[in-house]
Amino acid sequence: MKMLEKLSALEDAMNMLSSNARVIFVGQNVVYPGAATFKALAGVPEAQRVEFPVAEDMQMGFCIGLSLLGYIPVCIYPRFDFLVLAMNQLVNHLDKLRTASQDAWKPGVIIRTRVGAKRPLDAGPQHTQDHTVALCSMFQSVKVVSIYSDYQAFATYSGALDRAERGYSSVVVEAM
Amino acid sequence: MKSLPTYTPGQLIAFEKEIEAVFLAGKIRAPVHFSGGNEQQLIDIFSDIKPEDWVLSTWRSHYHALLKGVDPTWLRQEIIQGRSMYVHSKEHRFLTSSIAGGILPIGLGLAQALEWKNRPDHVWCFVGDMTARMGILHECLSYAEGHGMPLTVVIEDNGLSTNTPTGKTWGSWDAASVHEGRLKTINTYIMYYRYERTMPHVGAGQWVDFEPVGLV
């Protein structure tokens, strides 16, 4: 029952995001099932989904490029452990482009990731890490928000969308 | 958009020489990566680039910026103010990164967006020979080619990465033949040229005396 509530809250949040025509969902298991992040996208139109190859840093940079031409990418990494592979584009580019360019570029990207569950199955040290604190210490402009309960999902993603529309990026960590 | 300006090799060299004099006078408090030795190659390449196109470059971007239409007076001021490594112009669709390979996936995303919007513009990414061996280049080219995207990567091969011989680090002693034999023909998304750089990796090859900050 609790799992269903969580899914419903995230699904509502993803549906809310997809109601904005500029929003595009990019990542692994966005079109095809296989990760826990997939099911919440059930209500997202196929036209707003891009199934991406496993190329984490390229995916982040790709989303930056999309955002510079008016799209609002929701850049999905099914586990926080995978987001670590995108640190160059996330820390050196997405976070620094505004200051490096004196606000010429204002990329607004929403990064969606989750901390892998340890119950009922423990996926071990490469699939269950939460690097939120370390990530926060590396950012100048990107905001990190963790969701610890279902009722935070909609408001958190609404806030991330608002920031993206103003040219600021957010990392939303689903840690429920 | 206005058509792109035309430069002669001498005009490009003169721009850098003027900046070099300011740098050697200790007036620029940031690294400057001067261009030099590839004037004619770039003039030829930019004859195919339209004003509406996007040009993405690196920490060594002065020539690219000038040829893309960035105002030389504005550029000179940016460099003097310490932003040689961070030349960006939204008006001229000119973006740089000072991280090797950093522009490539951003260029890929721009190319995807242009395609989705049915715009005829093209994305040009200028990289060095070390970046040409990086995984990110091969990922981006694979995606661009697989999806038929309007993206071209221009490999500017001077055989060196800072002062490290690129080919030697990868186990090949002749970087030029490796690139010309392999990369030049790998697919239509790559342009390649070889040149001998006339300036050091960074700076002008001379010690510069800076006045201590805060002392009169």
| pLDDT tens sequence across A85-107 | 999 999 999 999 999 999 999 99
- What is the predicted pLDDT for the residue at B164? 92
Note the pLDDT of residue B215: 60
User: Span B65-91, mean pLDDT?
Assistant: 97
Interface test with B, best of A101, A109, A169 (most B CBs within 10 A): A101
User: What is the predicted pLDDT for the residue at B216?
Assistant: 55
Residues in A closer than 8 angstroms to B124, CB to CB, are none
Which pLDDT band holds residue B210 (cuts at 50, 70, 90)?
Answer: confident
| SS3 label, residue B131 | helix
Give residue B75's pLDDT. Answer: 98
Residue A26 forms contact with B (CB below 8 Å): no
Q: Is the dihedral of CA A18, A24, A27, A29 positive or negative?
A: positive
- For residues B110-132, average pLDDT: 96
Q: Is the ipTM beyond the 0.90 threshold?
A: yes
Residue B122 pLDDT > 50:
yes
pTM of the model: 0.94
- Is pLDDT at A122 greater than 70 in this prediction? yes
Does the structure show a pLDDT above 60 at B99?
yes
> Is the Cβ pair A59, B104 closer than 8 Å?
no
pLDDT attached to residue B182 = 46
Average per-residue pLDDT in chain B? 90
Q: Does A48 touch chain B (CB under 8 A)?
A: no
- Taking the CA of residue B77 and the nearest CA in chain A, the distance in Å comes to 14
| A22 has a chain B CB within 8 A of its CB | no
Of A61, A68, A71, the CB nearest to B105: A61
pLDDT score for A2: 60
User: What is the pLDDT, as a whole number, of residue B176?
Assistant: 56
Asked if A102 has any chain B CB less than 8 Å from its own CB, the reply is: yes
Q: Taking 70 as the threshold, does the pLDDT of residue A4 lie above it?
A: no
Measured between beta carbons, the chain B residues lying within 8 angstroms of A100 are 86, 88, 98
**Could you read off the pLDDT of B170-195 as tens digits, one per residue?**
886 555 555 554 444 445 688 889 99
% of residues, chain B, pLDDT over 70? 90
State the nearest Cα–Cα gap between A45 and chain B, in angstroms. Answer: 16
Pairwise CB contact (< 8 Å): B139 & A63: no
Residue A36 has pLDDT above 60, yes or no: yes
Query: Band of the pLDDT at B207, cuts 50, 70, 90?
Result: confident
Mean per-residue pLDDT for A49-75? 98
Helix, strand, coil percentages, rounded to 5, for chain B: 40, 15, 45
| Confidence check: pLDDT of B57 > 90 | yes
With a pLDDT cut of 90, the percent of chain A lying above it is 93
CA distances, B79 to each of A96, A166, B65, B76, B134 (Å): 19, 29, 12, 5, 28
Residue B125 contacts A where some CB pair is shorter than 8 Å: no
DSSP B128: E
pLDDT at B80 over 80: yes
Q: Is the pLDDT of residue A84 over 80?
A: yes
Tokens at A80, concatenated: 């926080």
Q: What is the pLDDT of residue B206?
A: 87
